[in-house]
A and B are shown apart, each in its own frame.
Chain A
Amino acid sequence: MTQHWIDIKNSNAILIMGSNAAEHHPISFKWVLRAKDMGAKVIHVDPKFSRTSARSDHHVPLRSGTDIAFLGGMLRYILEKNLYFKEYVTEYTNASFILGADYDFKDGLFSGYDPVTRVYDRKKWDFVKDENGVSKRDKTLKDPRCVFQVMKKHYDRYTLDLVSQVTGVSKKNLLLVYDTFGATGKPDRAGTMMYALGWTQHTVGTQNIRLAAMIQLLLGNIGVAGGGINALRGEPNVQGSTDHAVLWDILPGYIPAPLATQATLADYNKSIMPKTSDPMSINWKANQPKYAVSLFKGWFGEAATPANDYGYAWTPKVEPGEQYASMFMFDRLYKKQIKGAFILGHNPAQSMPNSHKIRKSLQNLDWLVMGEVHLTETTDFWRGPGVDPKKINTEVFLLPCCHRGEKDGTTTNSGRWIMWHHKGIEPMGQSKSMGQIEVEIFHAVRDLYKKDGGVFPEPILNLDLDRVYDAEKTARKINGWFTRDAEVNGRKFKKGDQVPSFAFLTDDGSTNSLCWIYTGSYPEAGKNLSKRRDHTQTPMQAKLGLFPNFSFAWPVNRRIIYNRASVDVNGKPFNPDLPVVLWDGSQWVGDVVDGGGPPMALKGGKYPFIMHTEGHAQLFGPGRVDGPLPEHYEPAETPLAKNPFGKQMSNPAIRWIASDMDKFAKNADPLYPIVLTTYSLTEHWCGGSDSRNTKVLLEAEPQQYIEMSHELAKEKGIKNGDVVEVESIRGKTQAVAMVTVRVVPFKIMGKTVHLVGMPFAFGWTTPGVGDATNRLTPTVGDPNTYIPEYKASLVNIRKAAKVTELER
């Protein structure tokens, strides 16, 4: 979230799209309804009418996988009707930047595309620079090569007619949403967008969110109260685990992971230290080497010295162009390239797409170590449906983990608040915290290395890790401390002092920090700010619902990021009724302001978007692998025979996985004509292993179901409550039919397209409830993130001849 939960109440219009907020983030509706009480309009755009729709002013059904068409139409409408916030767009975004001669877009492809490697040469999308190396700009926005004009031309094809035909949304509904949300382009109005996996789980997931952010920039809704682009993060500490680099392509704090071609720390530092020649750009990322060195110092302690590049050589590297996302790892496992695996707190045999392949892959392991609270479809894969345990040669080690309530630690919420939770009860039986389990395994390995030696011993022998996992000490080290007496920014520190904020982290080994964005959360000994529950606030903050003394928000306790964009170039709030920050003539007051320095128009003034090298928000975004402007591509499996927007059917940058088990339906496949979308549900936790074992929750949602329209049910001779067989080219599943007015058929390019929806929480280890929906879904994902396309694939349904998976 650019904002925090409470800030939703400050919105004038709330667009919930790609999210079923009321069901999956129930508390969010506390604030959505507060906004509604104050007159805000709430719109839910989603394939299915859900509990979120029930409490919204309008529900607008759209065909799953067509968000870019929908939003592209909105962008066009905003420009056409002059609804955008001109001052904001001109001053704070790259609308005025001039594109180089190499940039082009034709037949659904941007310039620089190599059809063999399926990779774009992104240099073709560069801006024109002046003699000082600063990007050229035309603040009149008239230059035909400026971003504003190029963007306008790009979305000119997204007419109401075409968008309506592709998305299945009526023109009346399109206009309703466009007008309602477009009205927030006025300086004193704010609209917020709430999204979740309904936007990310597509082969165009990243571009869905980019386009949403572009609309928010055009309307001047970023940085202001009640605005923002708000990712509703998952319950299993998705925000915290991403911050701490659960993904392979980053180090903690979103620093890019080192590449195998970057042999020395100097090579690596160069790659993570962007340069700008514009004195008004803060270019915060130029500080990344300080954060990286402090991280290495945190990992390797005393052993990390200038002479050995602080242990840079001991950190894992990424092979350029290689993919390490879980779908590729499982493909390697399927192809017998991996012998052993640690799977901790994850149930891939249930939660990952194409479960048949995942389940088959696990059989190729010599050994598997699992850390889990409950038995899952993964821990017990060796006795799964159709599997003969006698024929499985995998040795499985199941390590019992304790539950969240049985240990101290933190969870980071969507608003980036780091929240401490206290142990409620002692761990049951022999279970331990996952932290302690990992520490013990590591020390056992290290002891063996010390005794017997082994390959590449340095990272193992030099890791600075206590023998007992201590959550409090880990929190201290995440913040970071001084490793020796030092003076930074004119302030003197003693060895062992906590680092007060990341502005004091250094690249000379005098500080450590396990995640720079969290620095400041534990600024002094005994001062763990994640434990703060203080409601003190100024009257200005009270009006906003901003609680600066409650927990700690990264970065530097800033509650609304990009808040410098909420004021004009003189530091005067665009919305004087709800200022987030303001320049009082000598300093900023309100929230913790982004970066330092006075407002733009004053001497020494700075641009607001400090994380971009150019200091401007990117309407044109040359950083993504699949294009600088979002373009509508059909899902990997589509009911259409051609993409009405251009010759390119699906995202050109997709890395397809080839195996005999990775089958895809044809375009407009007559065997699989129905769109399947999958989702979670309020009563279950992700793949369901926790909640299926919490029987009062299972009582409320006991078995696999499939939601479908009355029209489809009639066509297929299915009655409400019948057991249905659902089939994709990859597999079959059974589900109870829930025939409902909440799902409707779509009219797409003149033909009727049906859509069905299924939850993914039900698995065979809970008898009689059904088994993995993901036996149907394909292994294909967004080429930036490799989040799988769970939200749109193709199936067929029929009444089940025999009920085999469900208790009846």
Chain B
Amino acid sequence: MPKTFLIDTSRCTACRGCQIACKEWKDFPAVHTKQTGTHQNPPDLGPYNYKLIRFKEYKMKDRVEWLFFPEQCRHCHAPGCKEGADAILPGAIIKDEATGAVLYTDLTKKFTPKQAEDVRAMCPYNIPRWSKDEGKLTKCDMCFDRITNGNVPACVKTCCTGCMNFGERDAMLRLAQERLDKVKKTYPKAQLLDPDDVSVIFLVTESRKLYHDFAERKEQPKTQYADMNRQEFLTAMTKPFKNLLG
């Protein structure tokens, strides 16, 4: 039975324990940041930030809403990135069927920056990031080392409020429905984001587009290929690699 996360944002206090725990477990260096007028920092995901709390604030009719979104890879059931990578170099991105983890291997080092950008563009959630330091494509690996040794991912381990949950898919789906039913009483717009397509299910309390651009699933990549259909896109993508091979 594959694993699933439930990220219940109605319980998130944006303490950023998950954001820091992720870095600590991976032993990533700190990145240099600046204050730009928001608590969201670093400004975006990066090769040393697989997990990031996004902050958005709104003045509603009679109240303030400060929305926290503990962003990370969704570990899609049919990962667009893998589809893209397979067309270039099979094995660069793999899916572990037992856990559902989508894993980027060191073969991504063989991507040209252009190819990496193309693979990146296949992600409907804009998750993967190119590491200049290591010359490879990076993102959350579900703490594959931890979960295959009987532990939960670092972000889940550190969460004290019940926002981050991890377990067998059936159990998480049940929990998600249970939480949704409850949260809906306070937040009528509450919903689960793409529960049938992903292993990382977000429960959000407001309309999904309020969280950030890519909280919505964007099937069409935002690149120069935007006008092509999927088949044309994949053909276009494989071309440079074929050229490379000779």
Question: What residues make up the interface of A, taking CB atoms closer than 8 Å to B?
Answer: 22-23, 26-27, 29-30, 33, 37, 49, 51-55, 59, 682-683, 695-705, 720-722, 736-742, 806-808
B34 at the interface (CB under 8 A from A): yes
Contact with A along B150-166 (1 / 0, CB 8 A): 00000000001110000
Among A52, A59, A702, A736, which residue has its beta carbon within 8 angstroms of that of B37?
Answer: A736
Q: Write out the residue numbers on chain A whose beta carbons fall within 8 Å of the beta carbon of B15.
A: 22-23, 26, 51, 682
Q: Write out the residue numbers on chain A whose beta carbons fall within 8 Å of the beta carbon of B37.
A: 705, 720-722, 736-739
A696 touches B161 (CB 8 A): no
Contact with A along B86-110 (1 / 0, CB 8 A): 0000000000000000000000000
Among B16, B34, B64, which residue has its beta carbon within 8 angstroms of that of A808?
Answer: B34
Contact with A along B128-166 (1 / 0, CB 8 A): 000000000000000000000000000000001110000
A739–B28 alpha-carbon span in the complex (Å): 31
Output the residue of B11, B58, B59, B64 with the most chain A CB within 10 A.
B64
Closest to A698 in B: B30
A513–B59 alpha-carbon span in the complex (Å): 57
B41 touches A701 (CB 8 A): yes
B168 at the interface (CB under 8 A from A): no
Among B13, B29, B64, B182, which residue has its beta carbon within 8 angstroms of that of A26?
Answer: B13
Within 8 A of A (CB), among B22-43: 23-24, 28-39, 41-42
Q: Write out the residue numbers on chain A whose beta carbons fall within 8 Å of the beta carbon of B65.
A: 54
How many B residues touch A, CB cutoff 8 Å? 37
B160 touches A696 (CB 8 A): no
Output the residue of B19, B29, B31, B34 with the most chain A CB within 10 A.
B34
A742–B64 alpha-carbon span in the complex (Å): 7
Q: Write out the residue numbers on chain B whose beta carbons fall within 8 Å of the beta carbon of A808.
A: 34
15 examples of A-B residue contacts, CB within 8 angstroms: A26-B160, A26-B161, A27-B160, A33-B11, A697-B20, A699-B33, A699-B42, A700-B20, A721-B37, A722-B37, A736-B35, A736-B36, A738-B37, A741-B58, A742-B66
B161 touches A30 (CB 8 A): yes
B113 at the interface (CB under 8 A from A): no
Closest to A50 in B: B66
Q: How far is the CB of B210 from chain A (nearest CB, A)?
A: 13
A742 touches B57 (CB 8 A): yes
Among B19, B31, B64, B161, which residue has its beta carbon within 8 angstroms of that of A741?
Answer: B64
A702–B36 alpha-carbon span in the complex (Å): 10
B17 at the interface (CB under 8 A from A): yes
Closest to B60 in A: A741
B69 at the interface (CB under 8 A from A): no
Closest to A34 in B: B162
Q: Write out the residue numbers on chain A whose beta carbons fall within 8 Å of the beta carbon of B182.
A: 37
Q: A49-B64, A51-B15, A55-B12 known; 16 other A-B pairs, CB under 8 Å?
A: A22-B15, A30-B162, A49-B66, A59-B64, A695-B29, A700-B16, A701-B41, A702-B33, A702-B41, A705-B35, A738-B35, A738-B37, A739-B37, A741-B59, A742-B66, A808-B34
A337–B13 alpha-carbon span in the complex (Å): 48
Q: Write out the residue numbers on chain A whose beta carbons fall within 8 Å of the beta carbon of B36.
A: 721, 736
Known: A699-B30, A739-B37. A29 touches B13 (CB 8 A): yes
Q: How far is the CB of A245 from chain B (nearest CB, A)?
A: 32
Q: Write out the residue numbers on chain B whose beta carbons fall within 8 Å of the beta carbon of A49.
A: 64, 66
Contact with A along B170-200 (1 / 0, CB 8 A): 0000000000001000000000000000000
5 shortest interchain CB distances as A-B pairs: A695-B30, A721-B37, A703-B35, A720-B37, A22-B13
A721–B38 alpha-carbon span in the complex (Å): 8
Among A51, A699, A700, A704, which residue has its beta carbon within 8 angstroms of that of B66?
Answer: A51
Q: How far is the CB of B25 from chain A (nearest CB, A)?
A: 11
B68 at the interface (CB under 8 A from A): yes
B203 at the interface (CB under 8 A from A): no
Q: Write out the residue numbers on chain B whose beta carbons fall within 8 Å of the beta carbon of A698.
A: 30, 33
B7 at the interface (CB under 8 A from A): no
A54 touches B14 (CB 8 A): yes
Q: Write out the residue numbers on chain A whose beta carbons fall within 8 Å of the beta carbon of B24.
A: 696
B23 touches A696 (CB 8 A): yes
A760–B216 alpha-carbon span in the complex (Å): 38
Closest to A26 in B: B15
Among B16, B66, B160, which residue has its beta carbon within 8 angstroms of that of A683?
Answer: B16
Contact with A along B43-82 (1 / 0, CB 8 A): 0000000000000011100011110100000000000000
B64 touches A699 (CB 8 A): no
Q: Write out the residue numbers on chain A whose beta carbons fall within 8 Å of the beta carbon of B30.
A: 695-696, 698-699
Output the residue of B14, B38, B161, B182 with the most chain A CB within 10 A.
B161
Output the residue of A22, A702, A808 with the most chain B CB within 10 A.
A702
Q: Write out the residue numbers on chain B whose beta carbons fall within 8 Å of the beta carbon of A682.
A: 15-16
Closest to B162 in A: A33
Q: How far is the CB of A533 from chain B (nearest CB, A)?
A: 18
A53 touches B64 (CB 8 A): yes
B13 touches A55 (CB 8 A): yes
Among B42, B57, B160, B161, which residue has its beta carbon within 8 angstroms of that of A740?
Answer: B57
Closest to A704 in B: B35
A23–B32 alpha-carbon span in the complex (Å): 23
Q: Write out the residue numbers on chain A whose beta carbons fall within 8 Å of the beta carbon of B29.
A: 695
Q: Write out the residue numbers on chain A whose beta carbons fall within 8 Å of the beta carbon of B19.
A: 700
Q: Write out the residue numbers on chain B whose beta carbons fall within 8 Å of the beta carbon of A702.
A: 32-35, 41
Q: Write out the residue numbers on chain B whose beta carbons fall within 8 Å of the beta carbon of A33.
A: 11, 161-162
Among B14, B20, B23, B35, which residue has its beta carbon within 8 angstroms of that of A51?
Answer: B14
Closest to A770 in B: B35
Q: Write out the residue numbers on chain A whose beta carbons fall within 8 Å of the beta carbon of B11.
A: 33, 55
Q: Write out the residue numbers on chain B whose beta carbons fall within 8 Å of the beta carbon of A704.
A: 35
Known: A54-B66, A703-B35. A30 touches B160 (CB 8 A): yes
Closest to A723 in B: B35
A45–B29 alpha-carbon span in the complex (Å): 38
Output the residue of A26, A699, A807 with the most chain B CB within 10 A.
A699
Q: Write out the residue numbers on chain A whose beta carbons fall within 8 Å of the beta carbon of B32.
A: 699, 702
Closest to A697 in B: B20
A807 touches B64 (CB 8 A): no
Q: Write out the residue numbers on chain A whose beta carbons fall within 8 Å of the beta carbon of B20.
A: 696-697, 700
Q: Write out the residue numbers on chain A whose beta carbons fall within 8 Å of the beta carbon of B57.
A: 740-742
Q: How far is the CB of A94 from chain B (nearest CB, A)?
A: 39
